[in-house]
Structure 1
Amino acid sequence: MNTSDRDDYGVVAAPDTVRFERLLPGSAERLWAYLTEAGKRRQWLAGGEMEPRLGGRAELFFRHSDFTDEPVPERFRDIADGFHAHGRITAFDPPRVLGMTWPGDGVDSEVVFELFPEGKNVLLVITHRRLAGRAEMANVSGGWHAHLDVLAALLEGAETPPFWSRIERLEADYSQRYGRDSGGTTGE
């Protein structure tokens, strides 16, 4: 895969799908641990135990205060103390592919993490599919973008970037990139 012309923004891969690619330091095994081990995953996304097998449970506990000390914006006050989500493992091929259902507004979507070694680095590809429309795609993309920035800083040993203060700006950026929808149309 050619990484030289990528930026950090996700792209629309299909009418209901967004895709992110990030070149991260370290091995696929190291990154796999940050996807599957609750203690490591909570440092950038969400804690919670997973059953490491196809069809296994994926418990996610989102508590953003685990990796940011920024005040929670009013819009997110209802999740300030964290929230639980439950999914199922849809793909499991260590340390290359992890897929899981992802809780959504009424309908679960699916997230697939793929790892491709590239020298001393690993290319992480996240594909999030079965999203309800462009508004949900922009919301999800802003979140993935901010979480991936935290993961990259963690893996690089750098200072964690702001999280909450970036969410609204990123969602606005993605809304503009993707175009707003109405009634689940693709906006294209």
Structure 2
Amino acid sequence: MMDDSDFGVASGTQTVRFERLLPGPIERVWSYLVDSDKRGQWLASGVMPTHVGGEFQMRFHHASLSPEITPTPARFVKYENGVTSTHRLTRNEPPHVLGFTWGDGVDGGQSDVLIELTEHGDKVRFVLTHSKLSGRGGQVQVSGGWHTHLAVLVERLNGRVPVSFWTLFEGVEAQYDVRYPKD
């Protein structure tokens, strides 16, 4: 069951923002953003540079995010054995701010991901803003993806084994399609 507060919030058709309160400390959450092995447990693996402007690759393999195996939805079968994408580091202010480029940007260019962490007692406020998206369709797609990947991150940080990515993902995009204003 999805909590309303878990849903991203759209701004226009080119930006979406997610907020979570995660178990800390902040250095632990930061490590799940920048360490390839830890990031690979909830999003994608790949060595991230420490210098702004550095290019890096992320390897997505959704079936490896959980020991539970479920069938890959038909439209994603071509990525069933994983997919690699190229990104560029745009901000690196450990352990508070991380920014990098993403695909599906305006006019076929790159979009931007900005992750901000702030301490709140023994918790960490996690804010992810994905901007410069290609429009409402791209916004719905990346929202469904981030929503699901963040659900896996929450499980990992709470010491739990997540259910299959595809089980978590089922129906999420459709809910964003209803939530976001039509063009």
Fold-level similarity (TM above 0.5): yes
Query: Match for 2:173: what amino acid?
Result: E
Of 121-130 and 165-174, the range deviating more from structure 2 = 165-174
Q: How does 1:35-184 map to 2 (within 5 A)?
A: 35-68=33-66, 69-104=69-104, 106-180=108-182
Provide the C-alpha distance between the structure 2 equivalents of 1:83 and 1:132, rounded to a whole number of angstroms: 21
Q: Choose which of 30, 33, 54 in structure 1 pairs with 2:31.
A: 33
**Which sections of structure 2, spanning at least 5 residues, go unmatched?**
none
Q: Which residue of 2 aligns with 1:10?
A: 8
Provide the C-alpha distance between the structure 1 equivalents of 2:168 and 2:31, rounded to a whole number of angstroms: 26
**Which sections of structure 1, spanning at least 5 residues, go unmatched?**
1-5, 181-186
CA contact (8 A) 2:33 2:39 kept: yes
Provide the C-alpha distance between the structure 1 equivalents of 2:70 and 2:51, rounded to a whole number of angstroms: 36
Aligned sequence identity (%): 44
Provide the C-alpha distance between the structure 2 equivalents of 1:127 and 1:9, rounded to a whole number of angstroms: 13
Q: CA shift at 1:34, angstroms?
A: 0.4
What's the TM-score once normalised by structure 1's chain length? 0.89
Runs of 4+ aligned residues of structure 1 deviating over 6 Å after TM superposition are none
Q: CA shift at 1:29, angstroms?
A: 0.7
Count of paired positions: 176
Provide the C-alpha distance between the structure 2 equivalents of 1:161 and 1:65, rounded to a whole number of angstroms: 10
The residue matched to 2:21 in structure 1 has which SS?
A: strand
The residue matched to 2:144 in structure 1 has which SS?
A: helix
Query: Match for 2:175: what amino acid?
Result: D
Q: CA shift at 1:42, angstroms?
A: 0.3
What's the TM-score once normalised by structure 2's chain length? 0.91
User: 1:22-68 CA deviation, whole Å, 9 max, x = no partner?
Assistant: 00001111111100010000000000111111111231000112213
Higher relative contact order (CA 8 A, sep 6+): 2
Alignment RMSD, CA only?
1.4
Provide the C-alpha distance between the structure 1 equivalents of 2:125 and 2:163, rounded to a whole number of angstroms: 21
The residue matched to 2:81 in structure 1 has which SS?
A: coil
Q: CA shift at 1:82, angstroms?
A: 0.4
